[in-house]
Structure 1
């Protein structure tokens, strides 16, 4: 029986593998799966079993799973296709008889208007319908999502957003990976739902101040309306669809969709989440 991590070439999946090894899970009991397993040579060198795990190739999914495994399904990135991809993984897990299926979902899935939530809600429904023991790991926002904004602030001294007074309880990917690894290895996590988020919900004035600290220059928060934000993004070269999506996300933040501080993440990880300034320093 192994712990199988899908999407192991991704930023989160790779960190979960590292967190499992840090927790003392023997490398031979960890399976790292990816569409292109040749990109996992560094993990193979550590004794981790690497396999092809392509959400679009059911045969690769079946070959990677065995009865009694614990499987982490890291959500795919192809919006519009990922529900079907996730369903293929769930079907393979059923057929293999895995002991538990964990899924990285979205914060407060099922009751949030978050723009990214619908695919996660559909996947959660499929996970529950599978009859397999499950753990739903509802991830909030990554602090690393603001790397581009940090670069822009270095150049302009401005954080521009239509999020208003909204707050974000972000945490680092490493924070999430530590919590996920704990849920994969510990007991009492069957059929559990965890709302994972940072310990502190910051607002964009705090984000600007944190940028100023790590950049060593003045940074201010410029509030704009959704309409102005959309126009500015399009003028900057983004296509209308991407620009609209980003403005919608800021609207979700403005409405409180990412402000939840449940404490689940730090409880699972066994430590506080990384403070905003400390999380931003590696991005400079």
Structure 2
């Protein structure tokens, strides 16, 4: 039995879709805060169990009879460490044989503020005595293509200088997670999951120009100014600051890797940024 936490989220749903291509629905448990949000999964034959990262007892109950758990990192930045600790504690109580955790690329050497809670979680796993495997996910291509309309109108703005991003799509990362969950002998492994072809934001702008036929340029601005731009676009100030810090981290190599772990796991090249742009258009 494989339990997927955060099963109603974008990544969780994609992982389940990938698992369903290779194993029976009866082997998958969708753990969600609100079971009504995944009625469609229940109709496909999956077990749906209520669980909340903040409720360790509910997590223990949800993990009964479970062999492997995919711990998809919480979306609540700043609260991730204690929430993940609850999941790890529950897995230990339920005698789970493997936790697969979606960490961040280059976690132990990352300059990104976002990496701190991932590093803390990796340490918790190491101290837990529960066998685990680390899925260190790089940046999602969708982090940029979801704002494609804005980029087409105003150009690409950021503070990453000429830092490279080794992105892949959520579906790529989800397929890799499913592959690991279905393999034996994964305990102790660390996968640095990154797209095959990295790009700078200048190259991203050029790719948009090529695909769309409209000239788009990249404007690099100071971190503080980029934070203000994101706040002006409607993002909460704290989250805007984290995104700006992530771009500065990218300028220092934090979101680049030449690892081929991702394409090896999924058995094909990762989705190019050009194809992601085409899909978004």
**TM-score (ref. length: structure 2):** 0.95
Q: Secondary structure at the match of 2:108?
A: coil
Contact 1:5-1:33 at 8 Å conserved across structures: yes
For residue 83 of structure 1, what is the aligned residue in structure 2?
81
Distance 1:48 1:240, change over 3 A: closer
Residues 29-66 of structure 1, C-alpha deviation per residue, up to 9 Å, x if partnerless? 11011111111111111111111121112222111112
Cα distance between partner residues in 2 of 1:99 and 1:232 = 46
Deviation at 1:110, TM superposition (A): 1.7
Cα distance between partner residues in 2 of 1:253 and 1:155 = 24
Cα distance between partner residues in 2 of 1:149 and 1:135 = 32
For residue 16 of structure 2, what is the aligned residue in structure 1?
17
For residue 179 of structure 1, what is the aligned residue in structure 2?
176
For residue 208 of structure 1, what is the aligned residue in structure 2?
205
Residues 96-121 of structure 1, C-alpha deviation per residue, up to 9 Å, x if partnerless? 10111111111111211112111111
Distance 1:238 1:33, change over 3 A: closer
Cα distance between partner residues in 1 of 2:269 and 2:79 = 35
For residue 6 of structure 1, what is the aligned residue in structure 2?
5
Distance 1:38 1:238, change over 3 A: closer
Contact 1:55-1:85 at 8 Å conserved across structures: yes
Cα distance between partner residues in 2 of 1:133 and 1:272 = 29
Distance 1:179 1:233, change over 3 A: closer
Deviation at 1:148, TM superposition (A): 4.2
Matches within 5 A, 1:21-170: 21-23=20-22, 25-67=23-65, 69-156=67-154, 158-170=155-167
> RMSD of aligned C-alpha atoms?
1.6
Q: Which shows bigger deviation, 37-46 or 217-226?
A: 217-226
Q: Secondary structure at the match of 1:141?
A: coil
Q: Secondary structure at the match of 1:181?
A: helix
For residue 244 of structure 2, what is the aligned residue in structure 1?
247
Distance 1:240 1:72, change over 3 A: closer
Deviation at 1:80, TM superposition (A): 1.8
Cα distance between partner residues in 2 of 1:91 and 1:227 = 39
Cα distance between partner residues in 2 of 1:59 and 1:180 = 26
Contact 1:67-1:99 at 8 Å conserved across structures: no
**Deviating 4+ runs (over 6 angstroms):** none
For residue 185 of structure 2, what is the aligned residue in structure 1?
188
Unaligned runs of 5+ in 2: none
Contact 1:266-1:273 at 8 Å conserved across structures: yes
Q: Secondary structure at the match of 1:202?
A: coil
Residues 221-250 of structure 1, C-alpha deviation per residue, up to 9 Å, x if partnerless? 112233443444455555543332222111
Unaligned runs of 5+ in 1: none
Cα distance between partner residues in 2 of 1:37 and 1:235 = 35
